[in-house]
């Protein structure tokens, strides 16, 4: 018997990467999962994988940047499964156009605001009438360690992910009395399918990244999927408004010592190719 038996879930961006692993994890625990993604073919592939493992899932095409599609996504889950208990807001489209307040274009800024703030508000707005019927429901919003710490020239991502943490707290306070818990997860670097090819071509750089993690490796999609599963389960019944950092200890390090460790790595591996700043 799975911990999530009989519950219905939506995972946005559920075709691949963190969302893909999350959809599989929730289904393996007994949830019926609507795997929604802008890439329907990839969502269908993940659904086949879930069904082959004995799970229940359906694929649905929804662009979370479009309000009407977010509304239809929620209605579809309820129509297919008869209820909604779990909502995982994960979808995000990496794009090249981030920048500083001076260099960021207005269209890139608008996109970031839409996908990291508006789309989460829309999905929760349309899901809430169904979630509150359950007495115990859970929303997990995927933020990032970038929501806490900043890198140069990434105004939209850092600000958007900080907003994901802030709105998760706000929603936790607003909807706790309705039996709906809301948490965020802040992953460190996760080697998704999308990143595997890049790292295969840059093995020495991957070793440098791994050296930045006290656990000695970067994350895997399953590391985040397991954390989402925990926050969705009744074991997390007293946890809401929390931003769970899942980063192998990367962000707890004292910056000064971290810097020396990186310098030593570069001394010992002088042929490491660094990305352009
Ligand atoms: N991979 C990491 O290192 C990492 C680290 C921290 C946070 N995150 C966050 O985790 C989440 C997932 O990232 P990932 O690395 O697994 O991404 P990914 O690119 O591997 O997968 C993202 C999925 O979302 C889908 N998608 C993109 N835009 C969409 C849209 N508008 N509507 C619906 N679906 C859409 C894509 O088709 C894809 O299937 C994102 O919110 C990301 O910011 C990732």
List phi, psi (to 5°) of 64: -70, -5
Cα(142) to centroid(ligand 1), Å = 9
pLDDT for the residue numbered 96: 65
pLDDT > 70: what percent of the chain?
99
Q: Is 148 a catalytic residue?
A: no
pLDDT digits (tens, 9 = 90+) for 45-104: 999 999 999 999 999 999 999 999 999 999 999 999 999 999 999 999 876 689 999 999
pLDDT digits (tens, 9 = 90+) for 109-124: 999 999 999 999 999 9
Distance, CA of 40 to CA of 224 (rounded, Å): 23
Confidence check: pLDDT of 277 > 70: no
Whole-model pTM over 0.85 = yes
pLDDT digits (tens, 9 = 90+) for 22-34: 999 999 999 999 9
Arithmetic mean of pLDDT over the chain: 95
The residues, ordered by sequence, that sit 6+ positions from 264 with a Cβ below 8 Å of its Cβ are: none
Please pick, among 111, 130, 148, 157, the residue that the annotation labels catalytic. Answer: 157
Q: Which CATH number fits domain 8-268: 3.90.1530.10, 3.40.50.720, 2.30.42.10, 1.10.150.120?
A: 3.40.50.720
81 close to 32: Cβ distance less than 8 angstroms: yes
Confidence check: pLDDT of 273 > 90: no
Over residues 147-174, mean pLDDT: 96
Confidence check: pLDDT of 276 > 80: no
pLDDT for the residue numbered 201: 87
Q: Which of 16, 17, 113 to mutate to test the pocket of ligand 1 (most atoms within 8 A of CB)?
A: 17
- Please indicate whether residue 228, judged by its CB atom, sits closer than 6 Å to ligand 1: no
12 close to 36: Cβ distance less than 8 angstroms: yes
- Please indicate whether residue 93, judged by its CB atom, sits closer than 6 Å to ligand 1: yes
Q: Which of 11, 18, 93, 156 to mutate to test the pocket of ligand 1 (most atoms within 8 A of CB)?
A: 18
């Amino acid at each position: 018997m799975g911990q999530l038996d009989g519950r219905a879930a939506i995972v946005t961006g559920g075709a691949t990467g963190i969302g893909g692993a999350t959809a599989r994890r929730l289904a393996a625990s007994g949830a019926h999962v609507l795997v929604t993604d802008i890439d329907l073919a990839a969502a269908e592939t993940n659904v086949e994988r879930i069904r082959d493992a004995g799970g229940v899932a359906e694929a649905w095409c929804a662009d979370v940047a479009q309000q009407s599609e977010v509304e239809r996504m929620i209605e579809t889950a309820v129509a297919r499964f008869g209820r909604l208990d779990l909502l995982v807001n994960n979808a995000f489209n990496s794009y090249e156009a981030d920048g500083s307040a001076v260099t960021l274009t207005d269209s890139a800024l608008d996109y970031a605001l839409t996908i990291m703030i508006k789309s989460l508000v829309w999905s929760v707005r349309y899901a809430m009438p169904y979630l509150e019927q359950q007495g115990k429901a859970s929303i997990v919003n995927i933020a990032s360690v970038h929501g806490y710490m900043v890198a140069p020239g990434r105004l939209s991502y850092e600000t958007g992910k900080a907003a994901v943490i802030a709105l998760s707290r706000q929603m936790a306070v607003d909807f706790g009395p309705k039996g709906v818990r809301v948490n965020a997860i802040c992953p460190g670097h996760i080697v998704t399918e999308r990143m595997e090819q890049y790292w295969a071509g840059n093995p020495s750089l991957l070793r440098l990244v791994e050296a930045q993690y006290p656990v000695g490796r970067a994350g895997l999609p399953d590391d985040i999927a397991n954390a989402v599963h925990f926050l969705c389960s009744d074991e997390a019944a007293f946890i809401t408004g929390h931003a769970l950092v899942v980063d192998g200890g990367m962000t707890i390090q004292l910056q000064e010592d971290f810097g020396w460790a990186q310098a030593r790595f570069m001394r010992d591996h002088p042929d490491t190719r660094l990305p352009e700043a």
